[in-house]
Structures are given as structure tokens and as C-alpha cells.
Structure 1
Amino acid sequence: MSARPIIATLLTSFLVATSHVYAFDVLRTTNGISATAAGAIVPDPLACQFGSPGKPLLLAEAVQRALCSNPKTREAWADVKAQAAGLGVARAAYLPTLSGTAQVVRDNSVTDVIDHPTLSSAQLATTNMESVSLNWTLYDFGARAAAARNASALLAAAQSTQNATLQNLFVAVAKDYYAAQAAAGALAAAEDVERMSGDSAKVASARVDKGIAPISDALQAQTAYTQAVLSRNKAQGAWQSAAGTLASDMELSPDVPITLPAVTAGVQPDTAFTESVGELIDEATHAHPSVLAAQAEVDAAVAKVDQTRAQGLPNISLVSKYSRDNQPASLGLGILEFPATGHEWYVGVQVTIPFFEGFTRTYQIRQTQAQLEKQRDALEDARQQVGLEVWNSYQAVQTSTDSVKDSATLLDIAQRSFTAAQHRYQAGVGNILELLNAQTALANAQQQRVQALADWRAARLRLAGSLGRLSGDDMQ
């Protein structure tokens, strides 16, 4: 049999085998990989396909766009895929390895024996050699098991890190969304103040024209109107900046037009978080994704120590090989060579014992033990950071809840005060300072109401994120 068909057969077998490997997850390592970069929050790939932003743009769409498209979430998703492949590598170590070799050699060998031409020889032949080798590790004192535990723990760490990344980005996008919504509300309030100031200036001018008010009333009212125009221009700039930031979170150009619902529309303060802060902190320090990721890193470091130690122990393998060739044969010097074929095979058990490695193993073990200490310290730090974040978020929710209630009361009082001052001035029993002061108080109350609602909603999601509880339901 010629070499070319053999080589072609080996190459075809290799390509077929690798195509099957690439096409299927033979070792079942992809079960924990989400279908999208948004993980369990947006599990449907079709939900990650977007057109133009909605009008108005709801929080759910803003969060979905960010989680599906943001480079941070895609990077975390890719890391999960890489660690899943690493687990596949660790599991593959339990299987035998089979390799084939085919060689074609054009041999031109000439030997001239001086003064003895009859002993000289010349060879011109094409020789083929094919072989198949098998190696299967039967026992390695737990090295493969430790490697599999290490890879499994690293995969769990990557998955928890992905979840933590999603939680953090969710909170960040919600914060920017509510900041933009507050900026839009502040702009609307500034436009109302501008309108009210214009009306007051017209009333003051009319009273001056009728001679029932001094010119100073008109001047003060005109000053208040000009200040309202300046405030409205400033609010317009703040809105454009906040909208651009939100668009960037969604991987859109900052100049994409965005329309948001009114800040007064949407979820209102409730008692969703009724647990004590101590219970929340205890829960988060054990179940938050960043803590779970740190714990998985510790487990991986423990397995790495065991793996490094086991790799310095004996290794028992099953080895086998079959080879054949058509190397020409000769009975001796000066005798013609004759075509021949040969084959060889063996099967046996191989024991590899690393007697001395130049103390490399000792220092490798020390290195992995130091890494284990580092990961344990990182776990403790993660728990402390999560506990502090829960505490701060809890206090922010409590404060913002009270602020929402107080701002509603303040706005109601300021609105009634302005209405009364406006009527008094129009009736000629009030003065311009009373009207302008009431107008300023109403403007401030409107701003505080808008900001209080936005702050409460952002604080609510921040607390949920610090607990690791954010899900698709929180996008509403």
C-alpha cells in the first residue's frame, strides 16, 4: 500500500474527528453558559436585538440594551466560556490520547569501499513508515481530580463574577436612567418657573402701567424672570449631558434623541425591604455574587495546591504502539538490497517516578499555598465590602423614603402658598416680594420633589444590587 493513500486517510480521519469535537460539547461543559451576555436577567437572545430607542424609553429597555451590549458584560461572558473550556480540558485528561504518524522518505544512499568495488553499494528507494500510538493515564494519585476541581471552581468563580458584573451594571444604568429622568423633570420644572416668572412680570408691568405699583415691582419681577431663563438654560444643558450618559451606557451615540417618561410616573415608595439591616448584611455576605466568586477562587486555590502536590507523585499509564514500514533489507555489505516490509507492536504499563526535580516541586507548592492565603484574604475583603455597601444602601433607602414623603408635603404647601400670594398680588393687597418669595419656594419644592423620587428609585435598586437580588422583574 502506498504512503499517499495512508496519509490522506490519516488527515481525513483527523479533520472528521476535530470537526465533531468542535461541533459538540462532548464533555458537557457548556450547560452553565448563558445564551446572552445579560445572563439570567435577559436569557432570550431575541430580547437582545434592538431597533431605535423606545419613545418613551423605559427602564427595562435601557437595562436590557446595556446588559446585552456593554463591553464589561460581554467580557465577563467570554471569561465564563473560557473557563468552561478549561473544565473540558481538565476532564479530557481522563481519556486516552491516540496519535498517528505517517512518513514518506526518498532515500538515496551510496557507499564506495576503496579498493573493493565489489563491496560498494548504492540505494535509491522510497520508504514509507506509519505508526499509531496510544497513551492512557490510569492512576496519578489525584492530580487529574484536583485539576478538575480547580477548573470547576474557576468556572463557578467566572459565573459569579459575571452575575456580579450584571448586578453592578444594572445599578449603574438605573442610576444614570433616574439621573436623566430627574434632569428631565428639573428641566420641566424650570420651564414652569420660567412661565410663572413671565406671568408675574406681566402682572407687575400692568400694575405699574396703571399706577398702582411702583416701578421697582416690575424691575424685580423682570429680574426674577431673567434668572428663571438662565436656570432653564442650565437645566437644559444638564438634561443633554444626562441623556448622553444614558445613551452611552446603552452603547448608543450620545447624540441619539432620548425621550423619558415623567419622573412622577412609575413605582412609588413601598415597604419591599422590611428585613432588619443586620439580616440583610448577613445574607449578602454569604450569597452576593462577588462573595460567591471570591469563595470559588478559594476553592480553586485549594484544588491547585492538591494538584501541584500530586503532580510530583508517580504516574501509571497504559502505553501501546503499532508501526509498519517498507525499509529495504540487505544480507550484508556489498550485497544487493531487496524489497521488504516490517511491522512492530507493543502494549504495556509505564510507571513514571519523578525522583528529583531540583526542588522545583517544593517551591511550586509554596507558591500555590501563598496564592491560597491571598484568595482567603480577598474573600474576607469581599465580605467586608459587601456588608458596608448593604449598610450604606439601606440607609440611603430609609433617607430617600422619608425625603419622598416630606417633599410631597413641601410641594403641596408651596403650591398653595404661591397661589395665595399670586391672588393677593393681583388683588392689590400683597407685594411683589411676597409673590417672588412664594414663587422661588415653589420652584425649589418642585426640584426637591423630582430629585427625591429619582433618588428613592435609584436607592431602591442599589440596595437590591448590594444584596445580589436584581432580576428581570426589577426592570419594571
Structure 2
Amino acid sequence: MNVKTISLLAIIATWGMNAHASGAFGALDVLRAEQNISATAAGSIVPVCEFDRAPSRPLPLAEAVERTLCNNPKTRAAWAAVKAQAAGVGVARAAYLPTISANLQGVRENSVTNVDNHPMLSTDIASTVHAESVSLNWLLYDFGGREAALKNANALLEAARATQDATLQSFFAQTAKDYYASKTAIGSLQAAQDVELMTRQSMTAAQARADKGVAPITDALQAQTQHEQAVFSLTKAQSDAQTALGTLAADMNLDPSMPLELPAVTDNVQTGKDFSEPVAAMIRDVQLSHPSVRAAQAQYEAAMAKVTQTRAQGLPSISLVAKYSRNNEPQSMGVGEPTFPSTGHDAYIGVQLSIPLFEGFGRHYQVDQAKAQAERQEYALEDAKRQVGLDVWSSYQTLTGATQNAQNSANLLAIAQRSWDAAKHRYDAGVGNILELMNTQAALANAKQRRVQALADWDNARVDLAAKLGRLGRGDLE
């Protein structure tokens, strides 16, 4: 009896009765395989998933992310995969324990034998027969097969947990992206409304000047044209905003038609870099610690353990076998003699050696197949490291550009606003022309759109880089 078997038996003796008292998932966890499963689909990011039926108004980013991580079908599927692999570890640990089976049989037996020309030798037996047996089989040694199976199960569990972490990071970032996209769409809608009002006022002023004869009718027509273009843009902005809000609702597993209200885009955000370490250091770190890399590493280790397990399954094994049985089958002294009630029992205990002698060369090819799978996982690990490094590099450059453009957009908006104010003042004073007014008007509308987009791009780039680094957590919800 090895150390692992003794440890598992001790666990059963200590925890068996307590675990039997509860029926919740993981409660009947005698072999401690399911004890570290997160309480929710959101893992440690959201320990308790409890929400009102309708989202808050306005909806903060924290609630949007929490609802998504808790309720999105894909995050729940990743959580279920962890549960399945944890149960697989339990199965692998159970292989160290004996199997005990009982067989109970109760039959009504009626046996008739007619011997021609010798009626004295004929029999007619009717009896009720009971038989009970208990069998034990305990695999004692198998050249490392069970140990390799347990390593494989543990590695697959670690891969499932890392995959869950990667899924949560991905949906955290996706929800933030959709959240900021919704805010951008709403900000663009507000900007389009401002532009529509601005062009309507210009159209009214141009029409008044044309009516008074101080400006040509073409000024009024050009102002009307620009106003119609603003109305067109406003209609599209309304559609884009509803589409973005529906996408965000779907992330949270809500009906896309669920009304959502988001806080307004403001200019008081601090668009500074949150990551001061060199990008090369980020890439080195992420190639070791990112959840997708950890998942690939665990898959590779599981594949290597599978090679050992497959090879060991073709080697001899030693088992302890035992059986006890009893029955009350009636006995007869001979042909034609009456039967008499009787009881009997049978018992044995011993050691069984099983030696696979020939499997049609199948074991050889099974080992080759397992080796090829391990080789494929090794390449998948290399590719995961390559991909996360590229993702960090790209996200870092995007954040750098978004940070610079956030300041550029503020400067652009300030200049465009002053240009518009000056052009409107000149036009109202009668010294400016409609072309100058419309040009500055269009420039201001464009600057407002770019400012809204730049702020959203910076927020999204910041969260995206954190996700690519695998660092998104509860602190990012504040």
C-alpha cells in the first residue's frame, strides 16, 4: 500500500460523513478534488452574483462588467469546464482506492426431470434460492499508470482554470469596449444634436439675411443643405447609439431591447499612461504569466502525462482480490433422491498479476499518437507566447497613440470652437460670408466627434492593454 493510497483512505475516514450531509455541488467532495472551484462564474472578480432585474440608471462600468462575467453564457461555460475537470481529478484519485461490489440474488427454482421407464429416478424440485456475494479488487501497483493519469487530470484542471481566467479577461475587456463604444455613440448623438441645432440656427440666420436682401439666396440654400446633412447625420447617430446599447445589453445576457442609460462622456478624465514599465519587460512577463500561456503550458504537461499513462497501460499490474459468497441452494444425495435444505459459503483472498502479452501492436501506435499530441501542444505553447507578446506590443502602441490623440483632440476642439465663434460673430455683423461660416461650422462638428471618439479610444486602449497583460481584476471596476 503506497503513501497516496493511505492519504486517500484517511481523507475518506475524516470527511465522508460530513460530506454526505449536503447535496450542493462540491459538498460531497470526499477526495478534495472540487474544493477550490470558484463560487461564481466570475471567479474572484465577482464573489457574489446578485443583481436587480433591471440595470442601474445610469449604468456604471463596474455593474456592466459584473453582470457580463456572472451571466454571459460563455463565462458560465468556462466555469462548467472547470467543474468537469475537477471531477476528473476526483476520478483519477479514486483509482488509488479499492472497488467493492455486492451481488444479491433471490430466485424461485422449479426443476422437473422425468426418466422414461424409471419413475423412481424422476425428480420434481421446487425451492427458493438466495445467494449473496461481496467482491474486492484493489490495484496495488501498475508501473505509474495511475500516477500519470492523476498528473494528466491535474494538468487539465489547471488548463481549465487558466482558460476560465483568459475568458474572464477577454469578456471583461469586451464589455468595457462595448461600454465605451456605447458612450461614444451616445456622445456622438449628443454632438450630432448640437450640430443640428447649430446648423438650424445658421440656416435661420442666412434665410433672414436673404429675405432682407443683404445676402444672396444661395447663402440660404447652402445653409439649408448643411442643415439637411446634419439631420441625416443625426438620424444615423440615433441608430448607431441604439445598436451599441443593444450590444452592451447582450453582453450582460439581457434582451437587446432592455433600456440602458449610461453616464455622459466628460472631459475631466486624466488621460495619462497607467503603465510605466518598458514594453519589452511587459512582453517578457506576459509570456510567463498570461492565462492563455498558462493554459497552453498545462495542456502540454497533460499531454506529456498522457504519454506516460498510455505506455503504463501496456505493462503488468498487481491487484489484491478477495471474495466471499454464500447461498442456500438445496442439495440431493443422487439421482432420484429427495433434496434437503442446505447452506454453503465460499471465500478467497489473494494477489492477481495481470500481464498483457499481445495487443496487436495497438499499444505502440497509441503511444505514438500520444507523443504526437504532446508535440502539437508544445507548438501550441510556443504560439501562445508569440501571440500574447504581439498583443501586448500592439495594445501598448495603441494606448500610446490614444493618449497623444486625447490631448490633440482637446486642442483641436478648442481651436475649432474659437474659429466658429469668430466666424459667427463676423457673419452676424455682416462682414463674413456663408462659406466661412459653414467651413468653421463643419470643422467644429468634426472636432466634437473626434473629441468624443478620442476619449473613448483612450479608455478602451487602457483596458485592452490591461487585458492583454492578464491584469484585469476587481480593482479595475472601481
TM bracket (short chain): over 0.9
Task: Kindly provide the amino acid, as one letter, of the partner of residue 449 in structure 1.
Answer: R
Question: Aligned with 2:44: secondary structure?
Answer: helix
User: Per the alignment, in what secondary structure is the counterpart of residue 101 of structure 2?
Assistant: strand
Distance 1:218 1:194 in 2: 16
5 Å matches for 1:94-109?
94-109=96-111
> Quick one: distance in 2 between partners of 1:140 and 1:448?
69
| 2:213 counterpart (192, 211, 214) | 211
- Whether 1:26 aligns to 2:30 is yes
1:126 partnered with 2:128: yes
CA–CA distance in 2 between the matches of 1:105 and 1:20? 36
What are the equivalent positions in structure 2 for 1:155-194 lying under 5 Å apart? 155-194=157-196
Confirm or deny: 8 A CA contact 1:50 1:65 kept in the other structure.
Answer: no
Match of 1:90 among 89, 92, 101: 92
Q: Distance in 2 between matches of 1:216 and 1:334?
A: 129
Overall identity of the aligned pairs, in %: 60
Structure 1 Cα separation of the partners of residues 47 and 452 of structure 2: 34
Match of 1:9 in 2: none
Which deviates more, 184-193 or 54-63? 54-63
| SS of alignment partner, residue 40 of structure 1 | coil
| 1:10 equivalent in structure 2 | none
How far 1:18 sits from its partner (Å)?
A: 11
Q: 1:417 aligns with which of 416, 419, 424?
A: 419
User: Matches of 1:111 and 1:204 in 2, distance apart?
Assistant: 121
Q: C-alpha offsets along residues 262-310 of structure 1, whole Å, 9 cap, x if unaligned?
A: 1226753122111211111111111111110000000000111111111
CA distance in 2, matches of 1:18, 1:443: 66
Count, aligned residues: 459
CA contact (8 A) 1:190 1:232 kept: yes
Amino acid corresponding to residue 397 of structure 1 in structure 2: L
- Output the aligned Cα RMSD: 1.7
Alpha-carbon displacement from aligned partner over 1:75-126 (angstroms, at most 9, x marks no partner) = 1111110000000000001111111100011111122222222222221101
Shift of 1:420: 1.1
1: CA distance, partners of 2:267 / 2:129: 85
Task: Check conservation: 1:104, 1:127, Cα contact below 8 A.
Answer: yes
Distance of 2:426 and 2:49 partners within structure 1: 62
Which one of the candidate residues 27, 30, 36 is aligned to 2:40?
36
- 1:382 match: 384
**CA-to-aligned-CA distance 1:135-190 (integer Å, 9 cap, x gap):** 11111111111110000000000010111111111111111111111111001001
Deviation at 1:351, TM superposition (A): 1.2
Looking at structure 2, the residues matched to 374 and 264 of structure 1 have their Cα atoms a distance apart, in angstroms, of 49
Partners of 1:142 and 1:310 within 8 A in 2: yes
**Residue 319 of structure 1 corresponds to which residue in structure 2?**
321
Cα shift at 1:333: 1.4
Tell me how far 1:379 sits from its aligned partner. Answer: 0.8
CA change 1:305–1:293 in 2 (3 A) is same
2:448 matched residue in structure 1: 446
Return the TM-score normalized by structure 1: 0.93
Match of 1:114 in 2: 116
Q: Distance in 1 between matches of 2:70 and 2:19?
A: 31
Give the secondary-structure state (helix, strand or coil) at the position aligned to 1:444: helix
Shift in alpha-carbon separation, 1:303–1:267, aligned structure 2, 3 A? farther
C-alpha distance in 1 between matches for 2:105 and 2:18: 21
Separation in 2 of the partners of 1:67 and 1:454?
22
Q: Matches of 2:33 and 2:127 in 1, distance apart?
A: 50
The 3 A distance-change label for structure 1 pair 21 and 248 is closer
Partner of 1:255: 257
C-alpha separation in 2, matches of 1:250 and 1:197:
38
Deviations 1:198-253 (A, max 9, x none): 11122222323333322222222222212111111111111111111111111111
Residue type of the alignment partner of 2:281? E
Do the aligned partners of 1:35 and 1:45 also contact (CA within 8 Å) in 2?
A: no
> Residue 212 and residue 413 in structure 1: after superposition, are their counterparts in 2 closer, same or farther (change >3 A)?
same
Cα distance in 2 for partners of 1:302, 1:161 equals 19
Task: Say which SS state the counterpart of residue 225 (structure 2) adopts.
Answer: helix
Task: Supply the AA of the counterpart residue of 1:24.
Answer: L
Distance in 2, Cα, partners of 1:433 & 1:119 = 128
CA distance in 1 between partners of 2:229 and 2:18 (Å): 77
In the TM superposition, residue 411 of structure 1 has moved relative to its aligned partner by 0.4
Provide structure 2 residue ranges, at least 5 long, that are not aligned to the other structure. Answer: 1-16
CA contact (8 A) 1:326 1:340 kept: yes
User: Which residue does the alignment assign to 2:335?
Assistant: 333
Q: Which residue of 1 aligns with 2:140?
A: 138
